[in-house]
Amino acid sequence: MEESQVSFLEGTQNFIKQSANLPAEQRVKQFEDLKKKTKTITMMIIIFLKSILNV
């Protein structure tokens, strides 16, 4: 789980740098997209862990 936290933090830092000069509306939209991707990856990790742990 620590790796996913580091990945999320790196993704967030990259987002901040890459979207710094975007208009507010576009930046919000890109942030929403980032949240969706992060949520999807988190759910995939949870499903994978449950499958290997037989939970």
DSSP 8-state symbol, 18: H
Residue 1's pLDDT is 53
- Is pLDDT larger for residue 9 or for residue 53? 53
User: For residue 55, what pLDDT band results from cuts at 50, 70 and 90?
Assistant: low
Residue 26's pLDDT is 93
Residues in the chain, how many?
55
User: For residue 5, what pLDDT band results from cuts at 50, 70 and 90?
Assistant: low
For 26-49, the pLDDT digits (tens) are 988 988 887 887 788 778 878 888
Cα–Cα dist 35/41, whole Å: 10
- Is pLDDT larger for residue 21 or for residue 37? 21
Closest CA to 2 of 54, 45, 37: 45
